[in-house]
Amino acid sequence: MKSFRKKTPRKQQPNKPTALTGALVAGLIMLPVGLAVVSSPAALAQKAERDSLSYGELFQKIEKGQVKRVELDESEQIAKVYLKGQQLDAQPLRVRLLDQNPELISTLKANKQVQFEEVSSANSKAAVGFLINLMWILPLIALMLFFLRRSTNASSQAMNFGKSRARFQMEAKTGVTFSDVAGIEEAKEELQEVVTFLKQPEKFNAVGARIPKGVLLVGPPGTGKTLLAKAIAGEAGVPFFSISGSEFVEMFVGVGASRVRDLFKKAKENAPCLVFIDEIDAVGRQRGAGIGGGNDEREQTLNQLLTEMDGFEGNTGIIIIAATNRPDVLDTALLRPGRFDRQVIVDAPDRKGRLEILKVHASNKRIDPSVSLEVVARRTPGFTGADLANLLNEAAILTARRRKDAITQTEIDDAIDRLTFGLTLNPLLDSKKKRLIAYHEVGHALLATLLKHADPLNKVTIIPRSGGVGGFSQQILNEEMIDSGLYTRAWLKDNITMLLGGKAAETEVFGEAEVTGGASNDLKIVTNLARKMVTMYGMSELGLVALETQNNDVFLGRDWVTRNEYSEEMATKIDRQVRELVIECYQQARQIIRENRVLMDRLVDLLVEQETIEGEQFRQIVAEYTPLPEKPQLAVGSNNPTLSGSKSAS
């Protein structure tokens, strides 16, 4: 058995050659300056004045026997005189000579007590001059070598760029199992056979079965696709390679393909293993798409990925799992059998799944025993696993801010409102603006209560929120109807009427001249619903025809230009039908509000005073004035409060 020892990365040392080169250059530049200063004529003249003798004084000292040694330098016309009794390290005295000095030379030769010597400094002077000139050239040579070295390093890095390794993470043990993944039971069951193959491949090989090489996880962001891939590797106990699709894409052609080869090379060395590619749509988009041509580097990377998955070489024991939320833009070659031939939908969890997810995220939080996670799950349809984790985290932050010991239902309700509508702002003063918003929101709430097929009211409030939301009315949606998409015509019409209740209330109470733009968001939703009833659901006089399809995101090269499948005459009829439907619902909303004006005034006064009215209290007050209709949704669906399309901006 081979033993592997983890290599400790060396601490990066400073670039010593570069530092030494800089110091050498600086020293060489300063050296000639110093030599020039020392050997300047002014400095030599001052020194000569201090240590000099006259020509006559030299003869006098020779006659008195005070001279020990004399050195004549006729090239410089200077005599260096060493006196008797002078210290050994003392500088000699200098005597300026004449052009011709025969008398001095004969006197020195005749005096046996004086050591006489003739020297020449011409050679040393030439050497010093050459050295000074050389010192100016060396810094230039050093600078040239420095820049040449830098250019060489840059060129070598450019040549080795294509050999850059893929930056992926390898985990021998993920530490995540299926027990840590909640709310997506269908996906877990579908991926259980992948775990079985990684554990016991002989069980499939015995009957000639071939496990899918690639599994594509499709779902909106935050549903747990990455966590599910880690759980598969954790259950099977195999190495887990993870990389993002954007890591393959580079501006240089060939880099992405080399990284794909490097990834699969490492995976083959550690087979059986699991390779997870997150956001594969970054590299797996359809080839040849795009105006003016596609990205050639991305296409080459995709080609290499296709070859590695199901090409000339088999990847035995390697299972590739990819995740995306845009399966419509993937290349068809990725989805054929032999590659990503199995797609697993990881959708937003249902009520039971949300309850399991809440239990997982609530295990490490201090929650008051009075809190019912079942109620929280009912109140959060459409929330993903990431949304639920963020919800409990926001509730914990509010609990700490309010200096409470445990999370209560109040903090959870406030966290839900904060995530759906925004931060709570300071309440408005009792003014005309506050009463106008109150009438608007009561108009929504009253119609939601009196219309038979509308979803019942959960609460109505006029506490402003960030983002320009002056208040909102919240309904209890029928989750089964929303998830299945089986909307009834009566539900759609009552929902449109309820959405127009705010504008109808403003018109009936304040008049046409005082109507505000607070219903702009309501009108957008109304127009969308009415148009779908006419063009998609066949709920108009135009008949049972689908004139439009569901709008998808634009994909360059395919859906850049939208095309209507009907004539201009039919478009005019569609617009007329949509307008007639909206006007009919608006007139119905105004009539209901007009007939219950006294009730509305009382509800507005109470809302201005309390700023929030719960749904049960609201229904009790309405029941004192008029009988409440029986709502079939309450018997079919669960009491799961959530926000409706009705919210008004101040």
Q: Which residues are catalytic?
A: 441
**How many beta carbons lie within 10 A of that of residue 34, not counting itself?**
10
CB 424 within 8 A of CB 465: yes
CA distance 345 to 219: 6
Q: What is the largest CA-CA distance in the chain?
A: 151
What is the token pair recorded at 264?
A: 């699969």
485's CB contacts (< 8 A; 6+ apart) are none
Contact between 339 and 214 (Cβ < 8 Å): yes
Q: Among residues 443, 591, 420, 407, which one has the least CA distance to residue 516? A: 443
> Residue 237 carries which side chain, given as an amino acid letter?
G
Label residue 203 left, alpha or beta by phi (over 0 means left) and psi (-120 to 50 means alpha). alpha
DSSP annotation of 254: T
- Select from 384, 389, 376, 438 the least CA-distant residue to 610: 438
Burial class (CB in 10 A: 0-12, 13-18, 19+), 553: exposed
Handedness of CA 512, 517, 519, 521 (dihedral sign): positive
Secondary structure string (H, E, C) spanning 189-244? HHCHHHHHHHHCHHHHHCCCCCCCCEEEEECCCCCCHHHHHHHHHHHHCCCEEEEE
Give the pairing of strands 612-614 and 457-461: antiparallel
Beta strands across the sheet bearing 273-278: 169-171, 240-244, 273-278, 318-324, 214-218, 342-345
274 in Cβ contact with 229 (< 8 Å): yes
Question: CA 640 to CA 411: how far, in whole Å?
Answer: 18
Question: DSSP labels for 345-382?
Answer: E-----HHHHHHHHHHHHTTS-B-TT--HHHHHHT-TT
SS3 95: strand
Cβ distance 603 to 442 under 8 Å? yes
DSSP structural state of residue 293: -
How many angstroms separate the CA atoms of 610 and 617, rounded? 12
| Best CA proximity match to 594, nearest among 509, 515, 494 | 509
Taking the CB of residue 287, how many other CB atoms lie within 10 A of it?
18
CB 350 within 8 A of CB 368: no
Pairwise CA distance, residues 273 & 375, whole Å: 41
Q: What type of residue sits at position 502?
A: G
Q: How far apart, in whole angstroms, are the C-alpha atoms of residue 255 and residue 161?
A: 8
**Location of structure tokens 């669906």:** 637
Torsion angle of alpha carbons 140, 144, 150, 153, nearest 10°?
-150
- CA atoms within 13 A of residue 168's CA, in its CB half-sphere: 26
Rounded distance, CA 76 to CA 121, Å?
7
